[in-house]
A and B are shown apart, each in its own frame.
Chain A
Amino acid sequence: MKLLRPIVTMAVVFLLAFSVSLYSVRAARGSDHQDSPTVVANPLADITDVFAFPDPHDASKVALVMDVRPLIPSGMYAGIALDPSLLYQFKIANTGVTSGSFTENTVIQFTADSTGTAQNITLYGPGKPNEVGTSNTLIGKTGTFTFGKVASLKGGIKVFVGPRRDPFFFDLAQFFKVIPDRNYMNHPHVPPATATSFRFASKNQKIVLNGVSYGTAGSNKCVIAKPKDFLAPYDVLSIVIEMPKKLLAPASGSPGVVGLWATTATSGKSE
């Protein structure tokens, strides 16, 4: 019995620690990264951010980034890879944007062949979509590459899919105090707001917006506390593609103004 006592003590301690860790992970959920019950239930379908920028060394190339799988705790990304039942897709309108037409006429698609980080990923396009709208099939294959490694494909295309540090930064915890509805964990019984201010480090912090002074944090009665980037300790899965801009040009013409967005779509096959 005496031998069992320390075991019980250890078990209790472990249970408490484990319960706290479970609570922490669950409590960490609730960013704008998790914006619907569907993606909360399937985080590999959850798009956290979209970026579009020129190659910093070559203005003739454009890079697109889609981040998925939010809130991977620091050091915990091993084994996390794309969902083979999903289609990850950039959609691009490259004609008529300046006159208000945003119908996609170019798509870039990614699928994975298996679960886990040994997966191979196939790139389709960029090319004309088979369908416009929210139900899509795959277009012509461009090439296949390995998860976690930079690859060069035909047409001057570079690709990468793998874990990266979440580049987004936001005092999300304070935002949820201001607008509690946006935290999925608050549903269906959304509590009232508990703050009307973001956090300011000092009451003497000057607030200057576009060159106009609005006094100090103290004079505006803002919340005085240390601001915190909620996303700082987390990783995501990044899907990155860089290509010559001409691949996103209209069928007959030069690259111009584009409108773009990212989607995930399910084949309905098991996760």
Chain B
Amino acid sequence: MTTRYTIALLVTILAGAIVGGCTSNAGVFNPQAERVGLSPSGSTVYKQIELLSRPAVKEVFELFEDHNKTNRAEPYADPVLQAQIESFTLMFRSKKNAETLQAILYPNVLKADLSQDVTTASYLGYETGGATGSKWGGRALDDDVVDISLGAIFGNTLSALGLIPDDKKEAPCLSEDNVAYDKSNTKTFPYIQAPL
């Protein structure tokens, strides 16, 4: 009896673990609550719930608690992110650094200059006149966007570009994450490495 009881208990716990693991976030996303119905012409209306543009901007600068709201905004109508780019940077750097980063990163859209007749992209290349590698801008698959971002926030990138004087508040231990790109993307469509 004891053994049978133990097995039954294990099965119950196991079932509970499965259910718990699968539904731990139940109730957070409710499609019906998000429903916006049909347009006057009868077309299905889709309501935005997620947004991404430049990498590591919202994720670094913006408080987690604000993402659910700002993910539903247009990237050019997001005063929360705009303010937090400055307030976050001010915790570490000068007012000039904070204002400059805010001016570069807001509105939060990925910029690319399609008039450039080149075959390489480079993150923030448009905004920096090609200082990151290519005036085309955009974002290449192997761009080290983390180090570019950390260098601008905690390093000397803004002063090295001549945009502002050096505030001498660099944090060298936070200016790069020391992770190298080792993924085998290809030169043929769809470019990204096959799944593992």
Contacts and interface: CB of A to CB of B under 8 A. Distances in A.
Interface of A: 1, 4-5, 7-8, 11-12, 14-15, 18-19, 22, 25-26, 32, 35-42, 45-59, 62-63, 65-66, 72, 74-75, 77, 85-87, 93, 97, 102-104, 130, 133-138, 150, 158, 160, 162-165, 167-171, 174-175, 178-179, 181-184, 187, 196-201, 205, 207, 209-212, 214-215, 217, 220-223, 227-229, 232-235, 238, 240, 242, 245, 248-249, 254-271
A200 B173 CA distance: 8
* Most chain A CB within a 10 A radius of its CB, from B14, B32, B192: B192
Interface in B133-173: 136, 138-142, 144, 146, 150-151, 155-157, 160, 170-173
A86 B58 CA distance: 22
Interface string B93-126: 0000000000000011111111111111100001
A221 B173 contact: yes
B126 to A, nearest CB: 7
Contacts of B29: 37-39, 41-42, 45, 271
Given A53-B120, A53-B140, A268-B35, A256 B113 contact: yes
B50 A39 contact: yes
Contacts of A25: 21
Given A135-B47, A267-B46, A40 B32 contact: no
A25 B26 CA distance: 17
Contact of A150 (B43, B55, B110, B189): B189
Q: 6 shortest A-B CB distances, which residue pairs?
A: A268-B35, A197-B173, A259-B109, A41-B29, A32-B59, A53-B121
A63 B172 CA distance: 35
Contacts of A86: 46
Contact of B3 (A8, A175, A199, A238): A8
A8 B2 CA distance: 11
Interface of B: 3-4, 6-7, 10, 13-14, 17, 21, 24-26, 28-29, 31-37, 39, 41, 43-53, 55-56, 58-60, 63-65, 67-68, 71-76, 107-121, 126, 136, 138-142, 144, 146, 150-151, 155-157, 160, 170-183, 185, 187, 189-196
A169 B31 contact: no
20 contacts: A37-B29, A37-B68, A38-B50, A39-B49, A39-B50, A53-B120, A54-B121, A93-B109, A136-B46, A167-B141, A178-B174, A235-B196, A240-B190, A256-B113, A257-B114, A260-B112, A263-B52, A265-B49, A266-B47, A270-B31
A170 B179 contact: yes
